[in-house]
Amino acid sequence: MRRAVLLVSLLVVAACARERVNPMLASGEHRLAVHGGSIWYKVTNLSNGHRAAVVLLHGGPGFNSFYLKPLEDLADDRPVIRYDQLGAGKSDTTSDTTMFNIAHFVAELDSLRAHLGVERWHVYGHSWGTILALEYYRAHPDRVLSLGFGSPVFDLPAFETYVRGLLPTLSDSAQRAIRRGEATQTYDSPSYQNAFNEFIGLYVTRHPVPADMESTFTTVNQGIYMYMQGPSEFTIVGTLKLYKVTDFLPSIGVPALLTVGEFDEVGPDLVRSHAALIPGARFELIPGAGHLTSWDNREVNTRVVREFLRGADSSVATR
């Protein structure tokens, strides 16, 4: 009799667990209407388990989430939400500069959360996505379980100084092309673009898959990138040029992970110094990788993020 009661209890618990599965987090591709157009998003959920979802915020601004696709490997643990910010990728394009600002992208991200019916989620950003992740946390700290910062850029002036320090490692012809392009403010010449590509091969992605590279760069919105960043990684003239939030980092009150590639354009030592400002933050150097760690060392990058998220789940459960 006791065993029968126990069995019934277990069945009830299992049934309740099934009912708690959020149908909006079933695997699939969708679109969501937001201010200014519609955005594309994809949910990958291979486990149908109950670990908290993680949302992936791509870099740029104006790029797309394709290069973050390797992190969908995390979907055997939890729902993974990957989306393209308005203006680029598979989302609607736009040239409206009134939406090329942090506040717009923070509101857009929270629209996605509300649409999916997620109360709190893990937020993982890469490059410009780390700015978006941090600013989202500042606006909605109660909706964030943890923060993952891949190749973070919390001090654009310091980042620019570091990147400019890498230019002497380029070929003489590339250095001349950069000086000429910046002096004349003409950045679309073949020589400047070749110099940009040389820099990318050393410090952005060292082991790209050509087809993936093409898929990523064919849907870039250069208008957003130019407006907020500039014509390249090393010529920063956009609205983010003076962005610096190091004073806020000690105020982060959720588990935080900071990763950086061994040859990353953002500078391992700079990222390490920012990690030291965040209480209890975990710092990880991804060996052999440039800026796009999800491409250059997929196995280690995914393992590090997976371990961090599991640890953050445990931290939340014990609070």
Active site members: 127, 264, 291
Give me the helix-helix angle, 102-116 and 128-139, nearest 10°. Answer: 70
Residue recorded with tokens 């600002």: 101
Distance CA(166)–CA(263), nearest Å, equals 11
- Residue pair 89/45 in contact (Cβ under 8 Å)? The answer is no
- Residue pair 66/212 in contact (Cβ under 8 Å)? The answer is yes
Distance CA(245)–CA(9), nearest Å, equals 51
How many other CB atoms sit within 10 Å of the CB of residue 78? 24
User: DSSP 3-state assignment of 203?
Assistant: helix
Distance CA(177)–CA(179), nearest Å, equals 6
Q: CB neighbours of 215 closer than 8 A, spacing ≥ 6?
A: 66
How does strand 37-44 pair with strand 80-83? Answer: antiparallel
